[in-house]
Amino acid sequence: MSELLQFLFSGVTVGAVYALVALGFTIIYNASDVVNFAQGEFVMLGGMITFAAHAAGLPLPLAAVSAIVLTAGLGVAMNKLAIEPARGAPVVSLIIITIGASIFIQGAAQIVFGKQIHSFPAFSGDAPIRVAGATILPQSLWVIGGAVAVFIALWLFFTRTLLGRAVLATSNNRLAAQLVGINTNFVMTLSFALSAGIGALAGVLATPITLTAYNVGIAFALKGFAGAMLGGMGNPKGALVGGFSIGLIEALTAGYLSSTYKDAAAFVVILAVLFFMPQGLFGRKSTDRV
Amino acid sequence: MKTTTALATLMALGLTTPALAEIRIGASISATGPAAFLGDPQVKTLEMLVEALNAAGGIDGEEVTLIHYDDGGDPNKARTFATRLIEDDEVVAIIGGTTTGATMSILSVAEDAEIPFISLAGAIEIIDPVRPFTFKTPHTDRMACQKIFEDIQARGFTNVAMISGTDGFGASMQAQCKAVIGDYGLTLVADESYNPTDADMTAQLTKIRNTEGVEALINPGFGQGPSIVTRNYAQLGLEIPFYQSHGVASNGFIDLAGADAAEGVRLPGTALLVADILPEGDAQRDIALAYKTAFEEATGTPVSTFGGYAHDAFLILTDAIARAGSTEPQAIRDAIEQTTGLVGTTGTYTFTPDDHLGLDLSAFRMLEIQSGAWTTVE
Amino acid sequence: MMKLTPKSATLIVLVALIALSPLLFPSNFYYRVGALIFVNAIAVTGIVILTGYAGQVSLGHAGFAGIGAYACALAPVHLGVPPALAVVLGAVLSGVLAYLVGRPILRLHGYYLGVATLGFGILVTMVLTNERALTGGPDGIEVPDLGLRGLLGDLGLSLSNGQFWYFFSGLCMLIGAWIALNLYDSPTGRALRALHGSEVAARTVGIDVARLKLRAFVISAVYASVSGSLLALQNRFVTPDVAGFMHSIEMVTMAVLGGVGSVLGAIFGAAILTLLPQVLTVFAEYEQMVLGLVMILVMIFLREGLLPSILKKLRGKDE
């Protein structure tokens, strides 16, 4: 029993990180139909900037906030410089642009921060919390709490606020949104800032557990992407469920079947789900335009 | 590329005097990619050493030029760059191949072109069977396993568990350990693995903890993986003796894993890590201290065993070129093979026609982390 | 002026490039780069059929390259077949696998197809990495010699290793391009392009969309497999990187960067992206940044790809 509980703890810790990355994907996708493969780099930047600022003498909370703000600014810049000029380009081109951005950010990070692996202290110490024979780190609770809080905030934002609905409207039909007076450029800017900020937050919360280096972004992006697709792209609920599911599948496979093929299990589940539900678990139905 | 070509053309036209030509040494190293953690200190080490050597007058008054490319650990790129170094840059020898995959690619190009090549990767396949032009400086991963098993045996344990990274380093060492474990009368009772990018290994460690009779744990791997395993080991309150590999032999590991979690962890390491506590008479003390001080001053990052491999490769090569008194690849190769008792940071090298590694188990020291610092276990 | 069909024009340009480029090579190293360009061009020609003709996106085609590559490493050792036959074996295996995988996943659209193909590629990489006993694991495995160079040598045509692979890969690329160009003009090709325009419209005019997409997927998988085989045989060594995500992305980027709508454009893209890392070494540590920047800028400013945009500019000047 304590064994199962430990696997579950492991799964939700990792799953919360994936969920946070997946949530970041959701916002940009909702606003622009772009899947931003540079999302993982935001996570990396969140961790790296916090480390660098903390090492330079800033207190940890301040370092974390500055990392989130800086990364959000970078997200806005990325939108202005790389995404907006490419509006209307086909899906493949957008994939290449965001991967290009990801390579660019990685290249810049290795020059600015070097290639060493870094970490900073956990927020509430390293003493594990014992529950029925299993243990979980306080930092895991921070990550899980962060994922749930971001989810609730986003859910309220998209369903309860005018601005959130404007984002969804822009996604559904950009022209119509403009016609009813929505400033779609502002919506895009906001989405990238939010998305990058959430990515950076993921990095800030997760780094004491996962550690960080200039090249960790792509792994986060792939897992987060998979989580978002499993749940259904564009739906915060999907991102949350998808992210946690992948974490849990991995941990349970590692625990009960084979640690070698735990990542395989996650992708097999995704393929199986997409086979029966081509839009993911909670995805919206799309109609082909002729 | 253009400049090298132009330079080559000038030389061909006799506009520069080939007699005073620089000694061109090539390198193909994973400065980026999954093995950047290993490759980065190697590139920095080579750059630092070339600068120091030239400032001191080069080799017999001839300047050494280092041409290095970043192969990202990708064997396809490594082969291309090896071809470029030989055909286009016309180097006299190659250092490199941070990973075994990249090394195997460079190796076949170097052997075909008969250019001496010193690898920085671990696998035993690189020098077994011996190939005429290929040498290497790091211990083989098999030797690391043997050193660990010797220690486990001496402590009177028999049941061993392993948790290995699925990267080249971890997987290769895992296989080598399995191959030699029987020689020490030990039994492998649990064999788990993790991906290099994984964030939590408590599931695997829980399985190991619940395995009947485990007496010692070994973690072959490099990068952030072993640090996370060590933290998870502490989180789960495991108390069995814990061995890391030489893949984490740097001070960075203690910082990342946390001094508390890393307390009591043992690993087979080199003199480099314990340079400052080596006894006065130790043969490696001076060179290890000198390299450690110079590297940490030049880069501001803690010295690692991997940079040490590059240091030793450069030492072996330049020593051989000086002794050969020639930049003919064949002469350099012969001189490398005749290297005897050359003290490096990793160990004391003595090559023979049958041994292109030149180190034995004695070069490995069993280290233990105590109160956040490395100590030697006798 | 004599009228050339696009097909013969493309082939003539390619033959001329393969035959004449060596005259400009400053050193033997360039044969290696040329051979790499041709090998990449073969995979990219497959992407033209899948993405350019049929409008489907794959983020996992390197998986098929991995199958082709490891077929050449494993079949000669375990099944005793000659390496040349192993290429065919790998291609057949890739084709069959593409058929089995493609049937369920080609119903997906856009990013969903992207993640499904991505998953396929990752699964292949994982098997190659983890089945160490068979595949040699992450450190890779040696690949036997194709033997053709020796054979040519016996016949009196002696080439250096670099030269042999340059011309042999060039020939393979030509054959691949010729097949793709023929396909473009065939009824299947026309139907595929209709599908690219609008799947719904294609369906209403009676095109069997599912079968057609599957056919494009299988053909492109075979191209990727042959490309992987040739790469492995040329390098005499292969690691699971050949099936990795970055290799998949590289294939798609080459095709789209050059111009995914035409074979010549895509091959041009393969040439640029293969050469780029060699040129970028002058930027040393800034190499990655420049590469990322090039990808972004081309996609923004030369949306149809490099070659079509350049041609358009040239034509614009004529008028």
Judge whether B147 lies within some domain.
Answer: no
Residue A155 falls inside a structural domain? yes
* Residues within 8 A of C (CB atoms), A 207-236 only: 218, 222, 225-226, 229, 233
A84 occurs within a structural domain = yes
pLDDT band at C307 (very low <50, low <70, confident <90, very high): confident
At A86-132, the pLDDT tens digits run 888 888 888 899 999 999 999 999 999 988 889 999 999 888 999 88
Of B193, B203, B237, the CB nearest to A251: B203
- pTM listed for this prediction: 0.90
Q: How far apart are CA B251 and CA B302, in angstroms?
A: 6
- List chains adjacent to chain B, taking adjacency as at least 3 C-beta pairs closer than 8 Å: A, C
B368: Cβ contacts below 8 Å, ≥ 6 apart: B264, B265, B266, B374, B375, B376, B377
DSSP A283: P
Say whether residue B301 is in contact with chain A using an 8 A CB cutoff: yes
| Predicted confidence (pLDDT) per residue in B2-18, tens digit | 444 544 444 444 444 44
What pLDDT score does B223 carry?
A: 85
Q: Are C10 and C185 in contact (CB under 8 A)?
A: no
CB pairs under 8 A between A and B: 103
Report yes or no on B85 lying in a domain.
yes
Interatomic CA distance for residues B53 and B318, integer angstroms: 9
State mean pLDDT over B226-237.
Answer: 93
Most confident of A51-55, C13-17, C153-157: A51-55
Query: C292 and A274: CB-CB below 8 Å?
Result: no
Kindly state whether B376 is in contact with chain C, defined as any CB-CB distance less than 8 angstroms: no
Chain C residues closer than 8 Å to B82 by CB? none
First to last CA, chain A: 55
Q: Predicted ipTM? A: 0.88
* Domain co-membership, B181 together with B207: yes
Give the nearest chain B residue to C136 (CA atoms): B172
- C254 within domain boundaries: no
Q: Same domain, yes or no, for B6 and B120?
A: yes
pLDDT per position as a tens digit, B124-157 = 889 989 999 999 999 998 999 999 999 999 999 9
Contacts of B166 in chain C (CB under 8 A): 129-130, 138
* A14, A211, A259 member nearest B224 (Cβ): A211
**Residues sharing a CB contact under 8 Å with residue B44, sequence separation 6 or more, in sequence order:** B295, B298, B299, B307
Number of domains in chain B: 2
Query: Could you list the residue range(s) of the whole structural domain that residue A147 is in?
Result: 2-219
Task: State the residue range of the domain holding B248.
Answer: 152-276+365-376
Q: What's the CATH code of the domain at B304?
A: 3.40.50.2300
Give the total number of structural domains in chain C. Answer: 1
> What is the greatest pairwise CA distance in chain C?
64
Count of alpha carbons within 13 angstroms of residue A33, beta-carbon side: 17
Per CB-CB distance under 8 Å, the chain B contacts of C281 are 1, 69-70
Same domain? For B7 and B78 the reply is yes
**Residues A19, A244: Cα–Cα separation, whole Å:** 6
Task: Tell whether A261 is within 8 A of chain C (Cβ).
Answer: yes
For residue B221, give both structure tokens. 């791997």
Counting as contact any 3 or more CB pairs under 8 A, the partners of C are A, B
Q: Is A114 on the interface with C (CB under 8 A)?
A: no
CA distance to A287, C57, C112, C117, per residue, from C198 (Å): 12, 15, 18, 22
Are B111 and C142 contacting, i.e. CB atoms less than 8 angstroms apart? no
What SS3 string covers A124-186? CCCCCEEECCEEECHHHHHHHHHHHHHHHHHHHHHHHCHHHHHHHHHHHCHHHHHHCCCCHHH
**Is the torsion defined by CA of B248, B121, C241, A200 positive or negative?**
positive
Please indicate whether, in this complex, the C-beta atoms of B203 and A137 are within 8 angstroms of each other: no
Q: What whole-number distance in Å separates Cα of residue B199 and Cα of residue B238?
A: 18
Distance CA(C31)–CA(C160), nearest Å, equals 10
**Same structural domain for residues B52 and B29?**
yes
Q: Are residues B28 and B52 in the same domain?
A: yes
- Residue B140 with chain C: CB contacts under 8 Å: none
- Domain residues for C118? 29-245
- Interstrand relation of B187-194 and B159-165 (parallel, antiparallel or unpaired): parallel
Which of B200, B222, B251 should be substituted to probe chain A, the one whose Cβ sees the most A Cβ atoms within 10 Å? B200
Mean pLDDT of B43-48: 95
pLDDT tens, residue by residue, A17-42: 999 999 999 888 888 888 899 999 99
Domain co-membership, B187 together with B312: no
Q: Is residue B283 part of a domain?
A: no
C288 touches chain B (CB under 8 A): yes
Q: Which residues of C128-137 are buried (b: 16+ CB within 10 A; e: fewer)?
A: bbbebeebbb
Q: What count of other Cβ atoms lies within 10 Å of the Cβ of residue B179?
A: 12
pLDDT value of residue A285: 59
Q: Residues B121, B58: one domain?
A: yes
Q: What is the pLDDT of residues C194-226, one digit of tens each?
A: 887 777 788 887 778 888 899 999 999 999 999
In tens, the pLDDT along C220-253 reads 999 999 999 999 999 999 999 999 988 999 999 9
**Total count of domains within chain A:** 1
Is residue C8 situated within a structural domain?
A: no
- Which of A189, A214, A193, A206 shows the shortest CA–CA distance to A103? A214
| Distance in angstroms (rounded) separating the CA atoms of residues C57 and C244 | 16
CA–CA dist C87, C144 (Å, integer): 12
Measured between beta carbons, the chain B residues lying within 8 angstroms of C28 are: 83, 87
Of the candidates A114, A162, A173, A137, the residue with the CA atom closest to the CA atom of residue A13: A137
CA dist., res. C262 & res. C255, Å (int) = 9
Taking alpha carbons only, the member of C107, C268, C114, C90 closest to residue A35 is: C114
B79 and B171 part of one domain: no
Whether residue C49 is contained in a domain is answered as yes
Structure tokens at C16: 């001329």
In sequence order, which ranges of C21-82 are alpha helices (DSSP H)? Answer: 29-47, 62-78
